[in-house]
Amino acid sequence: MILVTGGAGFIGANFILDWLRERDEPVLNVDKLTYAGNLENLADLAGDPRYAFVQGDIADHGLIDALLAQHKPRALINFAAESHVDRSIHGPGEFIQTNIVGTFKLLESVRAYFATLDETKKAAFRFLHVSTDEVYGSLTADAPPFTEDTRYEPNSPYSASKAASDHLVRAYHHTYGLPVVTTNCSNNYGPYQFPEKLIPLVIANALAGKALPIYGDGQQIRDWLYVADHCAAIRRVLEGGAVGEVYNIGGWNEKPNLDIVHSICDLLDKLRPRTDGKPYREQITYVTDRPGHDRRYAIDASRIERELGWAPAETFATGIAKTVRWYLDHSEWIRNVQSGAYREWVEKNYAGRKQ
């Protein structure tokens, strides 16, 4: 069986759902259930004997030690992280605690567990650490995309905390021989994404008749990766990735944020027209940019394609169409996650920004 941390979040939940659609190997999901952890994401697995959930913190040594000893996983995939740049600007402490301290304590538990395995099981065991392209910093318009050898230059408390966790994972391999693999992915989108991130926020706000906030001039460029493609890449890295190595995972879809919002508006015009007949683009509002906003990210995903045979199946056009349709078909899911705490966060982050 495998142990997944942070499996009730956006990418982790998609990974577990895809994993159990693809194979019968059981999954133990450990998630702290902070604001973005949502067990409703995994409701389809209710009663499935291949799936088990434990609420807990990766920094809880006693709990993680006990789960490792009881379930004896052959791999651990670490999705657990605080992951929103805006939140890290308002409150960096939680990012330091979860992404750095939590990863350190998780590594310590896994190191102790690994030492108890026989040589055959040690050879098969993997610790797969899921990270982000934001650790590499910001690119100029004409710079080549990030490769696995790009120097780390994180610019936000979030990316700095993820960079630190990446370094810890690397150190535990080189110092203690822990069989680790790290993946650094570009911007994910798709079903079950918490609506603080750009794409689900725009969809939810558009349908609610609210403003669609665009930071600065909206020309910040990101490489967009459909979440199911990301999950397939992680499965492939777990199967064949070289121990101690890093694999960049991207969608080969560099697009400015404003183009993303335009694409969503145009899809909604066709699939769910406004009652007044006006285009959703009329709801776009430009607001003050966030501090230290990185201008461009781009992933060179050629290594994982060359060495492991993975490439994204979705173009941005196909992926965003699937995503918009999913949110239109799951309006109740959106209502359920937009709790009082979520509304307070949106007010805190956007209300003070000048238009």
What tokens does 144 get? 């080549």
40 catalytic? Reply is no
215: annotated active-site residue: no
Query: Which range, 81-85, 220-224, 331-335, has the best average confidence (pLDDT)?
Result: 220-224
Rounded Cα gap, residues 124 and 145, in angstroms: 33
pTM for the predicted model, two decimal places: 0.93
Concerning whether 134 is annotated as a catalytic residue, the answer is: yes
Q: Is the pLDDT of residue 301 over 70?
A: yes
Among residues 134, 196, 223, 294, the one annotated as catalytic is 134
The fraction of the chain above a pLDDT of 70, given in percent, is 94
Confidence grade of residue 342 (pLDDT, cut at 50, 70, 90): very low
Task: Give me the chain's average pLDDT, please.
Answer: 93
Q: Are 4 and 181 within 8 A, CB to CB?
A: no
From 136, 158, 280, 327, active-site residue: 158
Domains contained in the chain, CATH given: 2-188+226-251+293-313 (3.40.50.720)
What's the distance, Cα to Cα, between the start and end of the chain in Å?
A: 51
Q: Which of 133, 196, 254, 314 is catalytic?
A: 133
The continuous run of DSSP H or E covering 172 comes out as helix 157-176
Task: Map residue 235 onto helix, strand or coil.
Answer: helix
- Residue 151's pLDDT band (boundaries 50, 70, 90)? very high
Residue 227's closest CA among 82, 6, 18? Answer: 18
Report the b/e string of 229-259 with b at 16+ CB within 10 A.
bbbbbbbbbbeebeeeebbbbbbbbbbebbe
- Local structure of 322: helix, strand or coil: helix
Residue of 4, 34, 33 whose CA lies nearest to 17? 4
Q: Regarding predicted confidence, which is higher, 92 or 206? A: 206
